[in-house]
Amino acid sequence: MSGPILALRGVTKAYAQGSLLDRLVGGASRFVALDDVTLEIARGDVIGIVGESGSGKSTLASLAVGLTRPTAGEILLDGEPLAALMRDHAGSWRRRIQMVFQDSSSALNPRKTIARCLAQTLALRGVPRATQEDDTIALLALVGLGAETAPRLPHELSGGQRQRVGLARALAMKPDILIADEPVSSLDVSLQAQVINLLSRLTRELGLTLLFISHDLAVVRTLCSRIIVMRKGRIVEEGPCLDVLARPTHPYTQLLISSVPKGIVGRRAPAAVASATSSVG
């Protein structure tokens, strides 16, 4: 299918600030989290979205996955307005865009085993109960986890294991677009490398379109082919990842790069990332 798989056209998201009384009498101010953003994402793109806290990264993700609606502008999925698709709450569009959240602990129900969590997701996709157990084991294997993980509860797993379960749950829907919102920021460096290599392998093998939201330029440099730099709800620079990081043109991008200790390359030795490949193979 030609054209971008996901497009934002002049999208703005604003929130009212102040007390309930202020809002009732019209005295509330507005906080603009996303400001007139236009963006096209091609099928198979691996895009890193970077910027400081409050730059609009997570707001963009929430809008793209349908968790919230824009104040103005339009979001298109394969050329169809997302607002129209969202009228069918359980429509196939919801399967096509999935999200991996930053906090793996709160993203998983603490009272449900991993097997039950994944089986329920498979059921939403219409997988028959008779094959859900086998498909659950296959999903765990896909993200580098063994069958012994299935009967466990989330608190019995490490942070890296929980994050992979979150990824398996998203992949259970066979999405076209995967949005990962700071998925490795709470992990130590060795676990970060494992998850990054896993994402890299899965995007190649499954042909996923990936939006990877991060504040870590070294991770984005390792994983992504394209980068989008955001500041105060706006896109200030975008382009091929290595080109933008090597020759930034916007002062804010230059400031981000200059603030990385030891430089982007020195921030994480390539060998540390490459060595984790066998761990998630």
What is the side-by-side strand order in the sheet with 72-77?
A: 29-41, 6-17, 72-77, 80-81
Q: How far apart are the first and last CA of the chain?
A: 31
Q: How far is CA 79 from each of CA 9, 26, 74, 249, rounded to the nearest angstrom?
A: 11, 36, 11, 31
Assign 74 to helix, strand or coil.
strand
**Amino acid found at 70:** P
6-280 fold: Rossmann fold (3.40.50)
| Gap between the Cα atoms of 255 and 248, Å rounded | 9
Helix and strand element counts for the chain (H, E): 15, 10
Assign 210 to helix, strand or coil.
strand
CB contact set of 151 (below 8 Å; sequence gap of 6+): 113, 114, 115
- Phi, psi dihedrals of residue 145, rounded to the nearest 5°: -115, 145
Q: What is the pLDDT of residue 273?
A: 43
- DSSP strands (E only) in the chain: 6-17, 29-41, 46-50, 72-77, 80-81, 97-100, 177-181, 209-213, 226-231, 234-240
Domain boundaries, the chain: 6-280
Tens digit of pLDDT per residue, the chain (281 long)? 578 999 999 999 998 876 666 666 665 678 899 999 999 999 999 999 999 988 999 999 999 998 899 999 999 999 999 999 988 766 778 889 999 987 777 888 999 999 999 999 999 999 999 999 999 999 999 998 999 999 999 999 988 899 899 999 999 999 999 999 888 777 777 778 888 888 898 888 888 999 999 988 988 998 999 999 999 999 999 999 999 999 999 999 999 999 887 656 555 534 444 443 333 33
Residues 65-85: tens digit of each pLDDT: 988 999 999 999 999 999 999
CA dihedral 40, 68, 171, 281 (to 10 degrees): 70
Exposed e or buried b per residue across 93-111, where buried means at least 16 C-beta atoms within 10 angstroms of its C-beta: bbbbbbbbbbbbeebbeee
Residues 17-57: tens digit of each pLDDT: 766 666 666 656 788 999 999 999 999 999 999 999 889 99
Assign 66 to helix, strand or coil.
coil
